[in-house]
Every structure is written in structure tokens, then in C-alpha cells.
Amino acid sequence: MNEATRLSDTGMPPSVAFWIRTPCGRAKYQELAGRPGSLARFRLGWFMLIAALRDLGQPLPQTEGEGGGGGGGASGGGGPAG
């Protein structure tokens, strides 16, 4: 499958997931994207514009596999010098 058409883990295109960062905004996107009709498409576009502007200051949500989480093993330094 083409990476541009692949859906993220939220069920939306990755570009939309990048711009709409809050869980409530993503839920609203899912609701509006499922509506048929040209007026609904206009409403979806308007929502995406406003949501993207509002979410600019929000950090990107972490997905699984990102972030800290420890990781074992030796750090490779800091023993007594002898």
C-alpha cells in the first residue's frame, strides 16, 4: 500500500493526524468525515482549518514505540578507575 494513502493507527490519514492532535479533535474529525454530501465536506474542511490552527501549540501525541521507557544494559562508563 502506498505510504501516502496509508491510514495511521487512529484511522485517519497521517497528514490529518499530524495537524489534528487532540483526542476530541480526532473524534470530531471521524464523525465529520463519515457524513455524506457537499455541505458536510465543506464543514469538514472548515473544521480541519480551525482545528489545525488551534492545535499548533499542542505537542504531537506519542504513538506506541516512541518515547522513553528505560531500556536495559550497561551504560558503558562510570566504574572505579584502577
* Residue-wise pLDDT tens digits, 1-49: 444 445 555 567 877 878 888 888 888 989 999 999 999 999 999 998 9
How far, in Å, CA of 25 to CA of 23, rounded? 5
Cell triple for 38: 457537499
pLDDT value for 37: 94
Residue 63's pLDDT is 59
Which class for 44: exposed (0-12), middle (13-18), buried (19 or more C-beta within 10 A)?
middle
Question: pTM of whole model > 0.75?
Answer: no
Pick from 49-53, 56-60, 71-75: least confident: 71-75
- DSSP assignments along 12-63, one per residue: S-HHHHHH--SHHHHHHHHHHHT--SHHHHHHHHHHHHHHHHHGGGSPPPPP
Predicted pLDDT of residue 14 = 79
